[in-house]
Amino acid sequence: MKISVCMAAYHGEKFIAQQLSSVLPQLSSEDEVLVSDDAPGGETQEIVLSFAQKDARVRYLHGPGQGVVRNFEYLLGQACGDVLFLCDQDDVWLPNKVQRVMESIESGACLVLHDASVTDGALRVTEKSFFQKHGSKPGFIRNCLRNSYMGCCMAFTRQVARNALPFPKNIPMHDQWIGLVAEKTGRVCFLNEPLLLYRQHGGNVTGGATTLRQKVSWRLSLLRAVLSKF
């Protein structure tokens, strides 16, 4: 099965070379790494293009410039793999990530979510298990109310991507939407094994602070979107 690694980039020059260097050795010659840059023309572009000149598996794309959710939506539409791995620019893949995830996909899972060790900017571990700290577990209703799906720890089949596209207009983040779609359409697998160093350095692209009212509104919108589609 061909793998597409989908990386959304935005001013990622500080860490993106280290991330690409952790990803590429785990892929076969038939796989691909798509980097969609939402701030093209800077150092991130230079770094990615330098990788692309040496490795034909790396493709640099100009992102849609509409934020992280639409950037990942764009990436899913450009990818041609049978299995799609979401990838953040700041993290580091541990050496057995692809192998362990693909074992679960090949055993019939439509989506795999694996554990991660949380680190600071210098990759010093601050939490050994993201799952344990945050109570990550499968279940449709559970993940409507308390999201476990974190994109950088997710891989899924081409069919899940087809089912998830296009993204609804008012979803807070892409990963929860994709996870809920997978919960409704196939078997998800939670791997209780840290396969990634999840770097938290103060400059990560996140959704930011939200009010309780906004959180409730987002969850209702997600639930309506999933139920109306399936």
In this prediction the pTM is 0.93
Q: Whose CA is closest to 148, among 156, 157, 140?
A: 140
Chain mean pLDDT for the chain:
93
141 three-state secondary structure:
helix
Residues 6+ apart with CB under 8 A from 138: 113, 148, 183, 188, 190
pLDDT > 90 in the chain, percent: 83
Q: Which range (121-130, 190-199, 206-215) has the least confidence?
A: 206-215
Over its C-alpha atoms, the chain yields an Rg (Å, rounded) of 17
Q: Is the peptide bond before 166 cis (omega within 30 degrees of 0)?
A: yes
Average of per-residue pLDDT across 145-170:
95
Count other C-beta atoms under 10 Å from residue 15's C-beta: 18
Q: Which range (48-57, 168-177, 186-195) has the least confidence?
A: 168-177
pLDDT of residue 13: 97
Q: Does residue 159 surpass a pLDDT of 70?
A: yes
pLDDT of residue 207: 43
